[in-house]
Every structure is written in C-alpha cells, then in structure tokens.
C-alpha cells in the first residue's frame, strides 16, 4: 500500500518539485495552494487558504485518507528589504499569517490523522532563520525563525505518539519567487560566495524532504537540515 503525502504550498518552487519527487517514488500526493495546479498527472490538488482557519479545518475534515503518513509545509511569502523604522504592521501580519500561522493551523487540524499514521512532518524554512536574510526584510527572517521553535516544541510533545517533525533550511534556491525578487547580476555575485559555486535547484531539496518523511527516518525529530552548498560555513 502506498504512503500518502500532503504538501501545503505545493503548486510552485520547492513544494511542487517535492510533490513530483514523491509521486515518482510511489506516494499518493495531495497538493494544496491558492493557485490551481496545472497539467500534473498523478498529483491531486485542493484549494486552501492557510490564513483562514475555517478553510484549513474544512480541508482536513474532508480528505479521504484514514490517516496521514506525511505533511510538508512549504507555503511562504517574503518581504521587501527595509529598515525597522519603516516597519508596516499590515505587511508583517500578511507574512506572519502565511509563514507561521498557516503552519500552526495546518498542524492543529492534521494532528489527529497524523497520530493515527504515526506520521512525519517537514517544515520548509530558510537559512535566513539561521543567519540573516540578504534580500528579504526582517519580517521574513522573524517568521522563519519562529518555525524552528515550533518544530522543537512539537518534537517533544509528539514524540510519545510516534510523530516525527523536522525542518529543512535551504539557502538560495532557484525558484520563481527568487527570480521575481533578486536581479540576475546579484545572483551571480552570490554564487561566487558559495563553495559549490552555484545556487541550489529545487530538485536538490526534495530528496532530503523525502528521506525525512519516509520510513527510513526512524530517529530524527526536532532537527533542522542545512542545504546550502557550503555557504556560511565561515559565518
């Protein structure tokens, strides 16, 4: 019997590549997001607003899975680089709601089925939470850092139920979000600071995610995995 995987924020970037990778490795994949998933054979799609508690609750009440084997939370938005003196409460609230609140709501309503399946959870964070963000505002860094605290806390609370939860910390990954926000000339200058000489591709993140949600992972929980090509080793 195939394992199932639910990917929230799986219609682009790391989330979509992970959905494809899991599908190709025999998982029954269900992807959720705000924008429709197009032309993807073997991946089911549902629309969900992670900032709306009722939307999240209704989804987990309606899925056909008897249990949940794995959840990957990959939803996230960024913020513009600016001084804290220009902090905008409304902008921060939007980022907070997607990056952090959405993860909390997802885990709140998924937990009953996760417990039944002794499931696995991966939260896709960012290396910004480990160091700083070179291009996004501090709002992004703050919300991503908070996810690490959430993972550590839940790892302890859920251990007795056999549910494992971890984080991955990608650095620069070649995604549509990155291309929209960073000029090509700047990307090239950053590649010169990475020991492997390039930024990551999304398909270099998904194998680690698959390992963490698979039966191969029997003992890793509350941890974070750096995926950065050696960047920041001297920092």
Asked whether residue 128 is domain-assigned, the answer is yes
Residue 84 belongs to domain with CATH number: 3.40.50.720
Q: What was the pLDDT predicted at 137?
A: 82
Q: What is the C-alpha separation between 67 and 118, in angstroms, rounded?
A: 9
| pLDDT higher than threshold 70 for residue 132 | yes
79-103 pLDDT, tens digit each = 877 788 888 999 999 999 999 999 9
The rounded distance, in Å, linking the Cα atoms of 144 and 71 is 18
Q: What's the confidence (pLDDT) of residue 163?
A: 98
Task: Give the per-residue pLDDT at 44.
Answer: 95
d(Cα 13, Cα 129) in Å, to the nearest integer? 19
Domain count for the chain, please give it: 1
**232 found inside a domain:** no
Give the H/E segment covering residue 30. strand 28-33
Assigned domain for 233 exists: no
pLDDT band at 234 (very low <50, low <70, confident <90, very high): low
In a domain, 69, yes or no: yes
Given this model, what pLDDT does residue 46 score? 92
Q: Is the pLDDT of residue 202 over 80?
A: yes
pLDDT at 123: 98
| Domain interval for residue 155 | 4-227
Structural domain includes residue 235: no
pLDDT of residue 178: 73
Q: Please report whether residue 156 resides in a domain.
A: yes
pLDDT of residue 58 exceeding 80, the answer is yes
- Whether residue 28 is contained in a domain is answered as yes
CB atoms within 10 A of CB 16: 23
Model pLDDT for residues 209-223, shown as the tens digit of each residue: 999 999 999 999 999
């Amino acid at each position: 019997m195939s394992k199932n995987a639910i990917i929230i924020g799986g219609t682009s970037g790391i989330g979509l590549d992970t959905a494809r990778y899991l599908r190709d490795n025999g998982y029954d994949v269900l992807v959720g997001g705000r924008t429709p998933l197009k032309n993807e054979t073997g991946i089911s799609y549902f629309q969900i607003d992670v900032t709306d508690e009722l939307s999240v609750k209704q989804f987990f009440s309606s899925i056909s899975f008897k249990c949940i084997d794995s959840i990957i939370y990959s939803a996230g938005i960024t913020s513009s680089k600016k001084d804290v003196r220009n902090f905008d409460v409304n902008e921060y609230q939007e980022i907070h709601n997607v990056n952090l609140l959405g993860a909390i709501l997802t885990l709140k309503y998924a937990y009953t089925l996760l417990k039944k399946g002794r499931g696995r959870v991966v939260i896709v964070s960012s290396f910004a939470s480990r160091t700083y963000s070179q291009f996004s505002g501090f709002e992004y860094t703050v919300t991503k850092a908070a996810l690490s605290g959430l993972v550590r806390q839940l790892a302890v609370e859920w251990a007795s139920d056999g549910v494992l939860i971890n984080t991955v910390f990608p650095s620069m990954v070649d995604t549509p979000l990155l291309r929209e926000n960073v000029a090509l000339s700047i990307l090239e200058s950053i590649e010169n600071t990475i020991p492997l000489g390039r930024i990551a591709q999304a398909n270099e993140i998904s194998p680690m995610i698959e390992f963490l949600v698979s039966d191969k992972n029997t003992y890793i929980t509350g941890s974070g995995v750096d995926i950065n090509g050696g960047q920041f080793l001297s920092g």
